[in-house]
Structure formats: C-alpha cells, structure tokens
C-alpha cells in the first residue's frame, strides 16, 4: 500500500473502522474537491508523505490506481502500539467499513454480501462478556464469539515471553545470590577480630547475630532502593531509545508498583539472609579464637 502527496502512489495498509480486517490500497493525492468520505492516516504515513488534515487523497487497491476513490483526510492518528509488529513502520489508513467494502468489493460480489473477519462488540456491562459470548455461540452456529480479555490464552506470545523473562530473572537472582554470599563471607571475615572482642566483653552470639541481621537488612534495603531508583531513572532512557529506534509509542520498560514490591520482597530478605548465613559459621567459634591474631 502506498501514499503520496504528489501523484506518485504510496503503499499503505487500510483498516476499516469496526472491521478487524486489512486490505491493500494505493494512496495518491486527489484533485477532486467535492465532499469525499473521510479517512484517518497514521502519523508515520503522514510524516513520510507529508499528508496533512484536510488533504484529499485517492485510494486504490493496486499501484495502477484502478477504480481509485477520493477521500478526505479527517485526522492523523497514532497507531495502537503492537509488539507483534515491532520494527515495521505502520503506514496505515483507517476508513469506514462501507467505504472499504466499496473500494475492495469484487465486481461479481453484490453489495451487502461481503464477508468480514470479525465484529468487535462493546457491552454495557463488560462483566457479562462471557455469558454474552456463550449466548451468541448457542444462537448463531458458524459464528465464534469470545471475550476479548484473555482471548489470547495461556499460550499467547506475550505470556510465553513473560515466562522467559521470569526464567532469566531467576537465573540472574541465583548468580547474584552466589556472589552476594561470597562477598558477605569476605566482609564478615574482615570483621572477625571485632566480633571476637564483642564476644570477649560479654555480648552473646545471639545479640551479635541480631546486630548482623539488622545491618544486613539495612544494607539490603538501601541497595534495593538504589536499584529501584536506577531502574526508574533508566526506564525513560530505555523507552526513549527503543521508541525512537522502532518509531512506536510502545512502552518497553515500566516499573510498576507490583514490580517494585516484588523486587523489594526478593532483594531485602535475600541480602539479609546472605549476611546472616555468612556470619553464622563465624559466630559458632569462641571469642578467644576470633580475637586471636
């Protein structure tokens, strides 16, 4: 599909409002001014071909412009971000269903007998989507209705990608935990003389362990908060870069309260536990042995 402000045809995808189908059309600047039907043009196509609101364009289903029809550009729209079409610049036009059918109808097909791929239905009460779909399926054999929410199912691409990200996160946490333990052992070892003196002046191992735990909690909390701040700060940078790279409004990274809470819930106990685990072996030794140089 194509669009152009001059007379050269430009390819673009054409979508009909209320129709989840697509067709191919050629878009060229039109000369006829008489009240043509309106269309919307995607921002990307408008920028590429310098199309402005109020322009008149011709749409045709082939590059030769056969049976082209004139349309008026009523507006420029930002396409709904679609992760499945990442990397493809959306050169799209949206028009009324009747206009699309008139444009694409085969001469042998009588008007009104065309097929559509799907019909989107908005209910007064969205909670009745399941019951409504079941009712339609029972009353209209040959038509399949389903609620839009969860329609992709558990095996959809994004559910699978979410599982993949979780798996990567799990491996990263394992690696980080191992390193954290190693560092904790070294740091605790560095303070063995101090711990030995504390034991010698009468502090019980339990008291020192609580102190170590509190210290671990404090360090882990500060570290986790710093990590979250880093994530929030880099969120804009990452989104900005990828939105520029793919010319899309898609949000790639979003630190939601749930994500932040999950991070804190994992990082803080893990950090504190690593400190306590590293200190445990040290505290089982006698004060004299620890304080000995």
Partner 1 sequence: MRGALAFAWRSLVRQPARATLGILGVAAVGALLLDMLLLSQGLVTSMQDLLDSTGFDIRVAAQDPIPGEPDIADGPAAAAQIATLPSVSAAISVRTEDADIQIGSARPTRSAFVGVSGGRARPWTVLRGNDISPSPGGFGAARNHELVLNEDAARSIGAAPGSIVSVKAYCSGGAEAAPPISFRVTGIAEFPFDAPNQSGAGTTSASLADACGTPDSRAADIVMVTSAGDPDATASAIAALRPDLQTFTNNQAVGQLQQRGFTYFRQISTVLTTITVSFALLLITVLLTVSVNQRLGEVAALRALGFSQRRVVLDVLFESALIVGTGGLLSLPLGAALAIWLDSILKRMPNLPAALHFFVFDPNALWIHAGLLASTAVIAALYPMRIVARLPIAATLRDEVIG
Residues at the contact surface with partner 1, assessed by CB under 8 A? 1, 11, 21-24, 62-63, 83, 86-88, 115, 117, 142-143, 155-157, 160-161, 163-164, 167-168, 171-172, 174-176, 178-179, 181-183, 185-187, 189-190, 242, 246
Least Cβ distance, residue 232 to partner 1 (angstroms)? 17
Least Cβ distance, residue 182 to partner 1 (angstroms)? 4
Which residue has 């085969």 as its token pair? 106
Distance of alpha carbon 2 from alpha carbon 14, whole angstroms: 10
Least Cβ distance, residue 149 to partner 1 (angstroms)? 18
Task: Report the residue number, 55 or 63, with the smaller CB distance to partner 1.
Answer: 63
3-state class of 238 per DSSP?
Answer: helix
Nearest to 17 by CA among 104, 111, 98: 98
| Residue 208 near residue 260, CB atoms below 8 Å | no
| Residue 228 near residue 260, CB atoms below 8 Å | yes
Least Cβ distance, residue 263 to partner 1 (angstroms)? 15
103 burial level (CB within 10 Å; 0-12, 13-18, 19+) = buried
Task: Report the residue number, 36 or 58, with the smaller CB distance to partner 1.
Answer: 58
Distances (CA, A) of 145 to 3, 35, 56, 137: 35, 38, 38, 6
Task: Report the residue number, 74 or 252, with the smaller CB distance to partner 1.
Answer: 252
Task: Report the residue number, 143 or 214, with the smaller CB distance to partner 1.
Answer: 143
Helices vs strands, H then E, count in the chain: 8, 6
Task: Report the residue number, 54 or 112, with the smaller CB distance to partner 1.
Answer: 112
Distance of alpha carbon 74 from alpha carbon 53, whole angstroms: 6
Task: Report the residue number, 17 or 185, with the smaller CB distance to partner 1.
Answer: 185
Least Cβ distance, residue 199 to partner 1 (angstroms)? 20
Least Cβ distance, residue 222 to partner 1 (angstroms)? 17
């Amino acid at each position: 599909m194509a669009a152009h402000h001059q007379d050269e045809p430009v390819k673009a995808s054409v979508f009909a409002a209320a129709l989840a189908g697509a067709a191919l059309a050629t878009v060229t600047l039109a000369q006829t001014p008489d009240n043509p039907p309106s269309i919307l043009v995607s921002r990307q196509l408008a920028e590429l071909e310098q199309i402005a609101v109020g322009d008149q364009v011709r749409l045709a289903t082939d590059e030769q412009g056969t049976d082209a029809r004139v349309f008026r550009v009523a507006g420029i729209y930002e396409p709904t971000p679609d992760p499945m079409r990442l990397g493809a610049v959306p050169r799209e036009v949206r028009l009324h269903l009747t206009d699309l059918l008139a444009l694409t109808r085969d001469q042998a097909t009588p008007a009104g007998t065309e097929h559509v791929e799907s019909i989107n239905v908005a209910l007064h009460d969205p909670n009745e989507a399941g019951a409504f779909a079941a009712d339609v399926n029972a009353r209209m054999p040959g038509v399949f209705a389903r609620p839009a929410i969860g329609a992709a199912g558990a095996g959809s691409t994004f559910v699978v990608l979410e599982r993949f990200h979780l798996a990567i996160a799990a491996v990263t946490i394992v690696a980080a935990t191992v390193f954290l333990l190693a560092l904790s052992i070294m740091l605790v070892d560095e303070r063995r003389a101090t711990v030995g003196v504390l034991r010698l002046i009468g502090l019980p191992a339990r008291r020192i362990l609580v102190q170590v735990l509190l210290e671990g909690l404090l360090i882990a909390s500060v570290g986790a908060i710093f990590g979250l701040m880093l994530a929030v700060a880099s969120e804009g940078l990452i989104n900005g870069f990828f939105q520029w790279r793919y010319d899309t409004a898609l949000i790639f990274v979003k630190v939601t309260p749930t994500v932040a809470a999950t991070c804190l819930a994992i990082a803080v106990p893990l950090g504190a536990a690593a400190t306590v685990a590293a200190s445990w072996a040290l505290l089982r030794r006698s004060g004299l042995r620890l304080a000995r140089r």
